[in-house]
Amino acid sequence: MRCSAYCNATRFDTSKLFEYLNRRYNAQRIREVIHMNLEERDVFFFPYAAIVCWGLEENQEKNLLSEIKEFEYMIAEPCHDIFTYSYGDTARVKDDEIVLPNKDILTKLAFSHSISQSVKLDTFEQTIQQTVDITRELPELLAVRGKINLSGKEIRRMMGRLFIDRHSINLHQELLDTPEFFWEYTDLEPIYNLMAHYLEIERRVNVLNQRLTVLKELFDMLNNEINHKHSSRLEWTIIWLIVIEV
């Protein structure tokens, strides 16, 4: 059977989303996660706009995504992941195939927490990669020419983009920690850890943090460049004032 994960936005308006899903599909809340049953199939909605669907057909998933679009905020680069799943004696995952030890909703939710974090992490990785691609040449220009041939306005716009990316990711960094759900359901934490290890969430978070550090250094470099341009402009202004006075 098919297990799919989507992240098409920054966050949900969870109160309105729950009200709508509860009225239409008799949804329920499991801590901060919204669960609904669609034709005997399970769907989980996470506050950070990640959705994990168990057993739905692709056309059903597309219809559902279109249906909840009005409850999304700040549309991001869409990210999508697909697995298959079946039932067996013990929980395991290999070659993108998940084996569930039972049909319990909480077991699926334990897997879903890791899957949703992974697809959310995909959006962060895409954002950082785009910023890295845009700013890749700046350190080389500074090394070769000793300065960045950009106007103050262009540099400030680039700094704004860097700041927005860093701020957005730092705000959501706690989402990549072990969810509070497992404080109450400690027996399900090994399932979460199993899936998180398979998806290499910890390693990817470390790489993401390293890239954020590099972007911070670039941010500081651009800030120094603006200060240098400003100081140079003041120096030339003073020189011309002295020339006029003389």
The predicted structure's pLDDT at residue 205 = 83
**Cβ neighbours of residue 121 under 8 Å, at least 6 residues apart?**
176, 201, 204, 205, 208
Kindly state the average pLDDT of the residues 18-30.
94
DSSP state of 27: -
The 3-state secondary structure of 51-68, one letter per residue: EEEECCCHHHHHHHHHHC
- What's the pLDDT band for 151 if we cut at 50, 70, 90? low
- What's the pLDDT band for 170 if we cut at 50, 70, 90? low
The predicted structure's pLDDT at residue 140 = 75
The predicted structure's pLDDT at residue 10 = 86
The predicted structure's pLDDT at residue 225 = 67
Kindly state the average pLDDT of the residues 123-144.
79
Kindly state the average pLDDT of the residues 58-80.
89
Least confident of 38-52, 127-141, 151-165: 151-165
Our measurement of the distance from residue 138's CA atom to the centroid of its chain's CA atoms, rounded to an integer in Å, reads 26
